[in-house]
Amino acid sequence: MTTNPRPRGRGGDLALRIFGILVLVFLFAPLAVIVVYSFNTGRLLGAWEGFGINAYEAAFQTPEILHAVGVSLRASVIATLISTLLGSLLGVAIGMRTGTLASVVMAVLALVLVTPEIVQAVSLMPWLTSLSVDFGVAILNDGLLRLAIGHSLFATAVVSFLVRGRVRALDPALTEAASDLYATRWNSFRQILLPQLAPAIGAGALMAFTLSLDNTIISAFVQTTGNTPWPVYVLSSLRSGLRPELAAMATVMLIATLALLALAAAILARGTSTASAARALVGSE
């Protein structure tokens, strides 16, 4: 015997709305403040002197800022390529297989996601140094590649789970029908599986780029001289005081990040319902 839930009164609905508004304010008020102060004409970010676009003009005319943003963008592109390729292949593998090995791989990926970033950063720094110095892997002396490798660890796990969730949500009858029609495994993958995985791969790539772009802790540990990324540059600026041009560039990158995340969500939603994707992602399908 089931009972209908007691309807909430007006007081309950009002309290729920107020609570929801407070949560939104708590989450987005800092972002709104930094956007507002990006139009500050003062020399320091915290001292409001007037409204103007001077900070945006200064941001795009400061070589150090442009160089730091350029380093972050280039490292993010490389990290996105690495994590998308590895994560997609791994996601397909664990999505099409069941058993102990697949469960172990998923556990390792989950461990990467929950491991504190500071732990990964401290581990990466001596590992990359040892490979480049002790084992002669000279390519790892490249600062951009070091940043990309560090950023791609977490992003690869994210892409893997996204692709794996999409694979688990697909109808296996499609590939079985292709096999019945004597299609090779490569043709079956290229013509049937890959087009259906494209939304998840695309969304994973966009998320990987976003995650790499604002990575701070790992960047601070693995960077080399002359390859300081944007987040580390902002942190180093704290010593002399934050300037409005930093807020201006941060606002530009915030808008770009939100646009990428919205695009990733839209791409991921193609071809499957939200509930189905969620169930597949956590392994209940």
DSSP assignment of 162-206 equals HHHHHHHHS-HHHHHHHHHTT--HHHHIIIIIHHHHHHHHHHHHH
Q: Which pLDDT score, from 0 to 100, does residue 2 have? A: 53
Asked if residue 35 belongs to a domain, the reply is: no
Q: Which pLDDT score, from 0 to 100, does residue 81 have? A: 95
Asked if residue 98 belongs to a domain, the reply is: yes
Amino acid type, 35: V
What is the number of domains present in the chain?
Answer: 1
pLDDT lower than 50: segments of the chain: 1, 273-285
Bridge partners, 40 (sequence order):
51
Asked if residue 218 belongs to a domain, the reply is: yes
Q: Which pLDDT score, from 0 to 100, does residue 260 have? A: 80
Look at the block and give the residue holding tokens 């987005």: 28
Q: Which pLDDT score, from 0 to 100, does residue 38 have? A: 86
The CATH number assigned to the domain holding 162 equals 1.10.3720.10
Structure tokens at 267: 């791409």
Asked if residue 20 belongs to a domain, the reply is: no
Q: How far apart are the first and last CA of the chain?
A: 29
Asked if residue 18 belongs to a domain, the reply is: no
Question: Using CA atoms, how far apart are residues 147 and 157, in angstroms rounded to an integer?
Answer: 17
pTM assigned to the model: 0.79
Q: Which pLDDT score, from 0 to 100, does residue 257 have? A: 82
Question: Using CA atoms, how far apart are residues 76 and 209, in angstroms rounded to an integer?
Answer: 5
Asked if residue 138 belongs to a domain, the reply is: yes
Q: Which pLDDT score, from 0 to 100, does residue 237 have? A: 82
Q: Which pLDDT score, from 0 to 100, does residue 272 have? A: 52
- HSE of 98, CA atoms in CB hemisphere, 13 A: 5
Q: Which pLDDT score, from 0 to 100, does residue 275 have? A: 46
Question: Using CA atoms, how far apart are residues 15 and 3, in angstroms rounded to an integer?
Answer: 24
Give me the phi and psi of 45, to 5 degrees please. -65, -40
- Separation of CA 225 from chain center: 25
